[in-house]
Chain A
Amino acid sequence: MAIIEQLTQDFLRTKKLPHIWCPGCGNGIVTAALVRAIERAEYDQRDVVIVSGIGCSSRAAGYLNFNTLHTTHGRALAFATGLKMARPELKLFVIMGDGDCSAIGGNHFIHAARRNIDLTAIVVNNHIYGMTGGQHSPLTPEGKKATTAPGGTVEREFDLINLARGAGASFGAKGTAAQPRQLEQLITRGSQHKGFSLIEALSPCPIAYGRRNKLGGPVDMLRDMKEKSISVERASKLGEEELAGKTITGVIFDLEAPEYSEEYYRSISKEK
């Protein structure tokens, strides 16, 4: 508890609280994990920048006591790319929602991954557009209901981690709001990795997603998340059938690849 109190002082804008999120929302858990991860990695507060897009989870930027940049819908990674190239020494964390990142921001997502630009992208995946009241996103599981898919969506969902890997990202991890300690460790590892690091954080939205899909209250959703998750290590020993319906959590891939800002600045110093 002592650690959390200290964090509240340093890294949270306590005057901006209470936050706008609904009771039972997982955004607070993910935000707290991010704050603890920054603390754990011992970054200088001056060097940390939080960039976010538009949506519920992106409002986290306003509550964090760093240089914070709340951008336009889907474009957080493009803003971050410009900032990182201008100031490569800064430590960027980019918070996005599932719709923000994978639908309207899909192009920026794959290109930031392709460049393998050094930043930590945290995608808070609650499977729904929460702020606008519950429309389906590219990460809404097939068959699940939304205001814009009253009979259940017939669209297939993205596998975000594999999308990032295919596009060229060098680090991908998945965690859940039900396991905040693991999530914190994943964010720390991602931030220490040089290159584009994706942390997909599953998070409950009991109001706009859970209720319509009869998933119970916040506690039920968190419990379900926890029960379905299985670590990468354990999953590696199981067959495909046994893994059906499971969420594999942990570091999914961790590769070495040239990082864009470093490569760029190296190339221009050679040209001189």
Chain B
Amino acid sequence: MKKIALQILGIIVLIPAVGMATLRVENQNADGPSILFPGGEMTTGRLHTSPEPDWGFTDDIQLVELQLNDPMASRLIYVLEADGRLFIISGYMTTMLGRLWKEWAFEADEGNNQGVLRVDDVRYPRTLVRIEEGDILDGVAAKLITKYGGAPNASPEAIARTRAGIEAGNSWVFELIPR
């Protein structure tokens, strides 16, 4: 009886596991990521070649699509504008979860940092540069707290705490520089 129960349990676990693996593989070559799974090379959308826009419009956008070229993969990610510059942030970086889930951030930090940002169907060729220190992190921290933390204002204490987390390497901030 116990054996039959375990066999049924095995089938119940097998179906979603195979389903998730299939969806992940299916999405690997898609034009951009899905909500849950990374995608492939982003090929559609106008290629931006004119001067840099005012990135303030991203304050109204929760998620953007970011592609790294080596290895070629794209994912959805939060975006932060501060002082007219554009940033992305990757959390959980000192945890095992971060090492497994945020492999792209390690790749970018190691130099495989050429990619494409797609916002509102426009593709912006970018280079990711990790920012580990500097006063710009105050602006990034403030925007993170108000945009994604749900706080109406960012107090100096909250900014200092968030900035300390970035400088300690708990979260990695990358600036998206045009290339």
A and B pair up? no
By a beta-carbon cutoff of 8 Å, the part of chain B in contact with chain A is: none
